[in-house]
Structure 1
Amino acid sequence: MEILNRALLQISTDYLGGIPVDRITTVVAVLLSYVLAHVFRRLPSTSNGAYKHVFSIAGSIVLFGLVQEQYWGLVHLLCGALVAFALMTILRGKAMVLSVFVTAMLHMSYSQIKRQLKETALEEGMQVAFDHTGAQMVFVIKVTSLAWCIYDGGQERRTEYQRKNAIEQMPSLLEYLGYVFFFPGLAVGPAFELATYRRMVALDDLRVKRTQSRRAYAKLLEGVLWMAVYVLYGSQYTMSYMATERFAYTHRRFISRAIYMCIAGVITRAAYYTAWKMSEGACILTGLGFEGVDERGHAQWMDISNVHIRGVELGSSLKQLIDSWNIGTNTWLRHHVYLRIIEHTGGSKSTSMAAVVTFLVSAWWHGFYPGYYLTFVLGAVASNTARTLRRNLNALVALAPEDENNQRKKTIKQAYDAAGWVLSKYTLDFTVVPFMALSLSTSLRAWRAQYFVVLLAVLGIHVAFNVIGVGRCIRSHAHVKQT
């Protein structure tokens, strides 16, 4: 609504330090989704869930269309949804899955390239206003996952995940659109399977519904706290600032530059935490994630979170940090890309090939900015390097001398974990700089301000362990001490 956006622009200018209006309207839309969620969960659960499907679609039209003024975005999503539904209805087997995947990804790529061309025409560092590409990324996960789940419905051999989410019969068009246009998670997620949506639609237990509000509003409060962090410090700490001459002049020591980058990383992630946690709470309020009632009458809930903030900010290994971030996308890539390739190719080389293809799909899904690819390549290499380093250093930590109360060994282990946290956090923040900077020149200038430390460390560790053979010496020493 133009009137609402003008009012939000004035509020942003006067009180919020000029935060882009599109980010504010996203928060407003998410907050309004809580109001709609209270109505949604009070709708009767009919056998076909028609009331809830219609309300879900209408909610997205109101929030994404009227509030965020993404009318053309709704048209794109509707056209993509109808094409995918037609392909699922007409085709069968792997041909159906492949056609849905390629069509959805190409349509999303068109939108992403169109946005990128607009931003390229602007001044460096500027971005276009909110558009539908974020929602389309969530949409792609949903429709491609559904295609695989429909495929699994006709198969005998399935993994536990496949058995749980297999779809035996093609959903009706109304149910399908209700799932695709589920209003609390349309713009920012989380993405989820149709089976999860069906359990939510069928939920009609007053005892269970009473437990939802507390969990939902706890997530909302968490999101509000991170929003406050972003509003207060978002303009003071940015990744792109590290690429400027002023940054190099005001932060002359490496430790000062490193601390700034790590603080900027937390502030940058605060915007994601705000959107994801608020959206997660609204989804919980509708009943999403309900898995049934146990024998004692207690409601069982699955984890639908897109991020585990504690794991990202306090994890002691790079793997733990990465696994705790963008969980919905990681789940999709694992179960519907990586494991599918292994399942349908087999052979001794299938794991390596699956890893490469999954990496390429992840990069394609995110977009085409050079910064994305710098982040993905370095992230993959840094993860392997961190694994090598930990595998060898763990052997040394295990050889720590023991005293009467094992206090010395505990101290060494605590110091080891603390060092792992510091190094992992620095590596993560260094790696994601290009993801936020987007352009190649800005990314390289920002990395230069950090003296390319992570790149040099990765190269040095590779040479030390894979060329010189430091790892073999450590393992031999550990074996001798143990025997």
Structure 2
Amino acid sequence: MDSSFTSVSYWSSKIGTTEPALRLLLTVLYGYPLALLFRKCVFNKAPIAQHLYFITTGLILGYWNYGSDICHCIYSTIFTYFTLVILKGTLYSVVITFVFNLGYLIIGYFYWSTVSYDINWTMPHCILTLKLIGVAFDLYDGHQPVESLSADSKKLALVHPPNIFELFGFVFFPAAFLIGPQFSMKRYLEFIGGHYNNGDEPPNSVPAAVRKLLFGLFYLAVFQLLGFFVTDDYLISDAFGNLPFYRKMILLGMWGRFTLYKYISCWLLTEGACILFGLSQNGKDERGETRWDGLENVKLHIFENTTEFNHYIKSFNVNTNNWIAQYVYKRLKFLGDRQLSQIFSLLFLAVWHGVHSGYYMCFFFEFVVMYMERDIKSIVKSDVYLKSFFASPKIQLPLQIVLRMYTFVFMGWCVIPLVFLQYPRYFPVYANCNYVGAILFLLWPVVYAPLVRFLLKKYGKRNTEKAQ
């Protein structure tokens, strides 16, 4: 058989994708046979054997994708290990781990980033960065008075720094090393220690893993199907710009789904592999059956039924959002301002994603959209007539349709800079979309909100005078 027939480059050209993208997808799928091999040969063995299995398989997959560049992940893990061992659970260890790992990642972005979305060693390194920073914070929490910790911090706190095998096994866990999901060192150690085991038998997680696999393949197929109707190149073309406004908005919403389904399909596939390993166990449900949603990274029911952008935040990239809440947002409580804490959290997310302006524009729009929605809710809640109107059963169906169309279309708007990354590339797309998001969101606090409040005040006063 011609060796080219079995090569990744051959099939990537046939499928119409890039070789790094196909390698990444295959790596995600390799998590399933690796999980089966673990269940057959390594399950319930000594912790050192499990660590070595994860380290070896994770490094092999990393090398297959990125070659010798995988050494950057090794360097950061070694540096963090010695930082935690020497400085233990002190504030110094948190600061040094945070600055070193985030700084290393930013330097990597600066030298290795191109004008498009990059699949290189910085991808697993961004996952690794959050993992290592999280370990430093958990070790710090383990050395604080218990009564000073939040409920989540108590669950995740580490009394002792992990040994080098524990840290490397945690970082290079093969089903989550390259694209996530995020999980804590405490969860990994409980998994290794047999906390999630079903006696001497591997956990009964196969049905749950198969379901996630099928969901992942379904969303991957839908992603490919949507690619026939909308692509990145189409949005930037004159053909798209010349369409009637309503068609552009529908296609913008479809393109937004096309963009997000790429991530969702991969997250579902890798979550299924983690379930098959047994890492995703999350206690029992009300019927006494084991829950396997401990590493759920997308809540499909919420995501597909959004009526406000907060639903996207609750349902998309869940584990990273939880990490930001635990290690950034809540740690900024001393600022005494939730809005300021949100700004710094979104700024951290933008820096963590990369150096392109598109990341900052994307999270800027997340902030202004959330600001507008909170403001609208406040206005409705404070006005008795609006509150009664929107509570009416007659208005619920049309309201649901409008809100679902709103979230469908404008999620597409919000991810434009996330995809096109650089101003010269995403600004023409904004122009093709008639700047609709800027007109809606940016003008809300300076034009629409004052006008709405003025009219409500005037209308309310007139009604009061009539009543008298």
- Are 1:113 and 2:96 an aligned pair? no
Change (3 A) 1:21 1:310: farther
- Are 1:340 and 2:327 an aligned pair? no
Q: Give runs of aligned pairs for residues 294-373 of structure 1, distance below 5 A.
A: 298-342=289-333, 345=334, 349-373=336-360
Aligned to 1:51: 49
Aligned to 1:239: 232
Whether the 8 Å CA contact 1:392–1:474 is kept in 2: the answer is: no
Aligned to 1:174: 165
Report the TM-score when normalising by structure 2: 0.89
Aligned to 2:394: 411
Aligned to 1:430: 413
- Are 1:10 and 2:10 an aligned pair? yes
1:289 equivalent among 280, 292, 297: 280
Distance 1:434 1:401 in 2: 33
Change (3 A) 1:292 1:267: closer
Change (3 A) 1:230 1:355: closer
Distance 1:309 1:448 in 2: 32
Aligned residue for 2:276, secondary structure, equals helix
Q: Give runs of aligned pairs for residues 246-261 of structure 1, distance below 5 A.
A: 246-249=239-242, 251=243, 253-261=244-252
Aligned to 1:445: 428
Distance 1:401 1:387 in 2: 16
Whether the 8 Å CA contact 2:313–2:321 is kept in 1: the answer is: no
- Are 1:79 and 2:78 an aligned pair? no
- Are 1:190 and 2:181 an aligned pair? yes
Aligned residue for 1:184, secondary structure, equals coil
**Residues 423-464 of structure 1 deviation map (CA, whole Å, 9 limit, x = unaligned):** 122222101111101110221110111111121112443234
Whether the 8 Å CA contact 1:226–1:274 is kept in 2: the answer is: yes
Distance 2:346 2:203 in 1: 42
Distance 1:269 1:356 in 2: 23
Which stretch shifts more, 174-183 or 32-41?
32-41
**Residues 301-328 of structure 1 deviation map (CA, whole Å, 9 limit, x = unaligned):** 4531222233233211111122211112
Gaps of 5+ in 2: none
Distance 2:53 2:179 in 1: 19
Whether the 8 Å CA contact 2:131–2:171 is kept in 1: the answer is: yes
- Are 1:147 and 2:136 an aligned pair? yes
- Are 1:102 and 2:99 an aligned pair? yes
- Are 1:61 and 2:59 an aligned pair? yes
- Are 1:220 and 2:213 an aligned pair? yes
**Residues 34-87 of structure 1 deviation map (CA, whole Å, 9 limit, x = unaligned):** 0110122342435x6111111111111222223x2x122321101000001111
Distance 1:290 1:153 in 2: 23
Change (3 A) 1:290 1:127: closer
**Residues 377-420 of structure 1 deviation map (CA, whole Å, 9 limit, x = unaligned):** 12211111122123334655541399xxxxxx323122222211
Cα offset for 1:294?
A: 8.5
Whether the 8 Å CA contact 1:316–1:417 is kept in 2: the answer is: yes
Distance 1:418 1:173 in 2: 54
Distance 1:76 1:222 in 2: 33
Cα offset for 1:341?
A: 1.8
Change (3 A) 1:83 1:180: same
Whether the 8 Å CA contact 1:37–1:282 is kept in 2: the answer is: yes
The number of equivalent residue pairs is 456
Distance 1:389 1:295 in 2: 37
- Are 1:399 and 2:399 an aligned pair? no
Which stretch shifts more, 373-382 or 200-209?
200-209
Which stretch shifts more, 459-468 or 433-442?
459-468
- Are 1:387 and 2:380 an aligned pair? no
Distance 2:369 2:254 in 1: 21
Which stretch shifts more, 349-358 or 96-105?
349-358
1:378 equivalent among 352, 365, 369: 365
Distance 1:475 1:90 in 2: 66
CA RMSD of the aligned region, Å? 2.8
Change (3 A) 1:209 1:315: farther
Distance 1:35 1:238 in 2: 33
What amino acid maps onto 1:452 in structure 2?
A: Y
Gaps of 5+ in 1: 121-125, 403-408
Cα offset for 1:261?
A: 0.9
Change (3 A) 1:259 1:90: same
What amino acid maps onto 1:101 in structure 2?
A: F
What amino acid maps onto 1:62 in structure 2?
A: I
Whether the 8 Å CA contact 1:33–1:63 is kept in 2: the answer is: no
Aligned to 1:123: none
Which stretch shifts more, 367-376 or 453-462?
453-462
Change (3 A) 1:212 1:416: same
Distance 1:195 1:401 in 2: 45
Distance 1:236 1:432 in 2: 18
Change (3 A) 1:377 1:475: farther
Aligned residue for 2:7, secondary structure, equals helix
Distance 2:407 2:72 in 1: 40
Distance 2:301 2:233 in 1: 25
Report the TM-score when normalising by structure 1: 0.87
Cα offset for 1:262?
A: 0.8
Distance 1:475 1:307 in 2: 44
Change (3 A) 1:291 1:379: closer
What amino acid maps onto 1:440 in structure 2?
A: Y
Whether the 8 Å CA contact 1:291–1:302 is kept in 2: the answer is: yes
**Residues 152-204 of structure 1 deviation map (CA, whole Å, 9 limit, x = unaligned):** 11112111100111111111111111001111011110011011112222233
